[in-house]
Amino acid sequence: MKDSQSLLQFSQNILQRAGLDEDKAFHTADILLEGELLGHRTHGLQLLPAYVDELEKDMMTKSGEAKLLNDMGAVLALDGNYLPGPWLVNKAIEEACKRASQYGTGIVTIQKSHHIACLAAYLEKVARQGFMILLACSDPRNKTVAPFGGLTPTYSPDPLAVGIPTDTDPIMIDVSMSATSNGLVARSHRHEEKLPHNWLLDNQGNISNNPSVFFDTPPGSILPLGGLDSGYKGFGLGLMVEALTSALGGHGRSDIPTLWGASVYLQVISPLGFSGEEAFKRETEYLKNQCLNSEPVNPEKPVRMPGARGLELKQKQLIKGLDLLPETEESLRQLGKKYGLNFD
């Protein structure tokens, strides 16, 4: 078990030694840790070595600020210049919250951000302030999901995350518009494990749970959310995310980028600009309780709200420490040796 604060300090120190300043290193380490605390292991601290590798190769920008592209009060467009994604998004959230307090909503797009890690990691802090948050991203370089009815991978998994305030714990939704994530497929392939379900399509159009088909020539693809049955819905939602992120952001697939990055759409909504916080939370809490009180199909598995398991796991790990995956722990130990920091 690893203490959360020591992991945060270790990760921040590694990122600073790799070239980031204290502020950028802190926000990046903090979001990676938050993802790990919530149980998103493929998008938590497992990403730290990959981020460091990007810094070492000068493929993640170490210093500077985002460039302002447009500002219309409630709407702000930024060029992230491939600066650290978690830092860019956290700064955008701060600004969006200010504008939401003034206008009822604040919307920020970021083109050319570097990877932004786990989307769920941004939700709780904002929702507990009484704001609703929508966060979506796509990677214009990545093509791993095929359109419904097609074989050729065309776009990325395109996650969408939503944080909804209630009178108690927030509802935290984090779903991709694909059947699974790139990270889980890659991890399963490394460990020679099958996926839990037939989430992939091989290059002949056959469904599969074998991650090796993802790495064939030509490659297989990840099915859209909904699979072969109703994947047209996931395909449509993927197109929506692509429009919100790359099209509104002004930089995407047509630019044929070569760097690992993200196009980001962020919206913060203040209930004060609409029916008011009391009315908003009355409705969300009521619906939440109605769902939780729904008679379960299996009495041993009652209805659980999106994000509840992650919040429970986070509290447990904050108290007892984090039980890292062996491969994550070993990769962090090797980073420590490389940069002269003790991980154990």
Same domain, 126 and 251: yes
**pLDDT given for residue 254 in this prediction:** 98
Digit-by-digit pLDDT tens for the chain (344 residues) are 899 999 999 999 999 999 999 999 999 999 999 999 999 999 999 999 999 999 999 999 999 999 999 999 999 999 999 999 999 999 999 999 999 999 999 999 999 999 999 999 999 999 999 999 999 999 999 999 999 999 999 999 999 999 999 999 999 999 999 999 998 999 999 989 999 999 999 999 999 999 999 999 999 999 999 999 999 999 999 999 999 999 999 999 999 999 999 999 999 999 999 999 999 999 999 999 999 999 999 999 999 999 999 999 999 999 999 999 999 999 999 999 999 999 98
Query: Cis omega (within 30 of 0) on the bond before 211?
Result: no
Structural tokens at position 144:
């791993």
Query: Model-level pTM?
Result: 0.96
CATH number for the domain spanning 339: value is 1.10.1530.10
Q: Is residue 239 part of a domain?
A: yes
Same domain, 279 and 172: yes
**pLDDT given for residue 344 in this prediction:** 80
> Alpha-carbon torsion 20, 21, 24, 27, what sign?
positive
**pLDDT given for residue 243 in this prediction:** 98
Same domain, 150 and 257: yes
Burial class (CB in 10 A: 0-12, 13-18, 19+), 103: middle
Same domain, 40 and 152: no
Residue type, 20: L
Same domain, 228 and 330: no
**pLDDT given for residue 297 in this prediction:** 97
Q: Is residue 202 part of a domain?
A: no
Same domain, 22 and 139: no
Same domain, 248 and 318: no
Helices in the chain by DSSP H: which ranges?
4-17, 22-37, 48-56, 85-103, 123-127, 182-190, 227-242, 248-249, 277-292, 308-320, 326-339
- Could you say which of 284, 299, 333 is where a domain stops? 284
Q: Is residue 198 part of a domain?
A: no
Task: Tell me the residue range of the domain where 96 lies.
Answer: 64-179+224-284
Q: Is residue 4 part of a domain?
A: yes
Q: Is residue 218 part of a domain?
A: no
Q: Is residue 217 part of a domain?
A: no
Total domain count, the chain: 2
Same domain, 115 and 243: yes
Same domain, 45 and 78: no
Cβ atoms < 10 Å from Cβ of 45? 26
Same domain, 54 and 69: no
